[in-house]
Chains A and B, each alone.
Chain A
Amino acid sequence: MTTADKTVLILALALIAALYAHSWAPAPAAESARVSSAGKPDLWLALGADREVVIEGVLGPTDLEIRDGRIRFRRAPCLGKHCIHSGWLASDGDFAACLPNAVAVQVVGKGTGFDAITF
């Protein structure tokens, strides 16, 4: 290996380290959550203060819990409870929905990590 080879190798290692740092940095902390419920305007909830919010869905009241800058479905009148099993939504772009109930929650920070999610 010549000196130039070593220079190339070091530059390549630096490039890869920079790529890891850039692409794999943890998602920015969430700031607020957008709650969509059928037939109603979107509701924006700040995630700063811990509390519970009741949303009126198509099937009935749905409890959302906000704690430590995260949000989750706590109680929902649907059958499958997929929304509750989605657990805490903490990072930018995290999304959960209660489809039978037509309630969806997306956590939003400075920029969203995903542009669409399918189940």
Chain B
Amino acid sequence: MEFEVTREDIRIAWLTALALGMYVLEMAFPSPLPGFKPGLANIVTVAALVCFGWATAAWIALLRVLAGSLLAGTFLSPGFALSLSGALASLMVLGLAVSVSRKALSEVGYSLLAALAHMGGQIGAAYCLFIPHAGLFKLLPVLMSAALVFGLLNGIIARSMTQVLLAK
């Protein structure tokens, strides 16, 4: 049995590799507090969303979570469950944003929405799966503030990335 490898597949593989590189790079940075991470890999997701559409972005994000967990040794661990729920939540919000906004949003808006949804999805999953205590939501404003800052920065980086990509 042979699979036909399309241009789309190769593109997804390259971009996923790029996202994984960023993910691994980010693991090397010490985190000041649990939960504070820049989420650099989301730059690739957002750039792919703008250049190639939602399906490509979804493939990259989910493959990155899967392969990233294998690299980090966290596959099927609680951290993996949080990572996956964050990715799913941000993909859902991005899909909604694409269909609702009809190109009104730029990379910055998408990245912001994705970061907030990612954080919201993670905290929701943490509450449902691991820590069903209302005290968890005391963290929500702080973590959401961090998501806002990193989402903005990542969006600006994604914007300059797509401008280079689309100029070619």
Number of A-B contacts (CB under 8 A): 50
Q: How would you classify the secondary structure of chain B's contact residues: helix, strand, loop or mixed?
A: helix
Residue in chain B with minimal CB distance to A16: B144
Number of A residues contacting the other chain (C-beta, 8 Å)? 17
- Assembled-state Cα–Cα distance A24/B113 (Å): 23
B52 at the interface (CB under 8 A from A): no
User: Does A24 lie within 8 Å of B138, measured CB to CB?
Assistant: yes
- Point out the residue from B104, B113, B116 that lies within 8 Å of A3, measured CB to CB: B104
Return B74 CB to nearest CB of chain A, in Å: 28
B82 at the interface (CB under 8 A from A): no
A118 at the interface (CB under 8 A from B): no
Q: How would you classify the secondary structure of chain A's contact residues: helix, strand, loop or mixed?
A: helix
Interface size class of B (residues with CB under 8 A): 20 to 34
User: Does A1 lie within 8 Å of B148, measured CB to CB?
Assistant: no
User: Does B116 lie within 8 Å of A5, measured CB to CB?
Assistant: no
User: Does B108 lie within 8 Å of A1, measured CB to CB?
Assistant: yes
Chain B residues contacting A53 (CB-CB under 8 Å) are none
B55 at the interface (CB under 8 A from A): no
User: Does B148 lie within 8 Å of A13, measured CB to CB?
Assistant: yes
Residue in chain A with minimal CB distance to B144: A16
Residue in chain A with minimal CB distance to B155: A5
User: Does A5 lie within 8 Å of B109, measured CB to CB?
Assistant: yes
Return A46 CB to nearest CB of chain B, in Å: 27
Q: CB-CB contacts of A82-119 with B at 8 A, as 1s and 0s? A: 00000000000000000000000000000000110000
- Name A1-44 residues within 8 Å CB distance of B: 1-5, 8-9, 12-13, 15-16, 19-20, 23-24
Residues of A bordering B, CB below 8 Å = 1-5, 8-9, 12-13, 15-16, 19-20, 23-24, 114-115
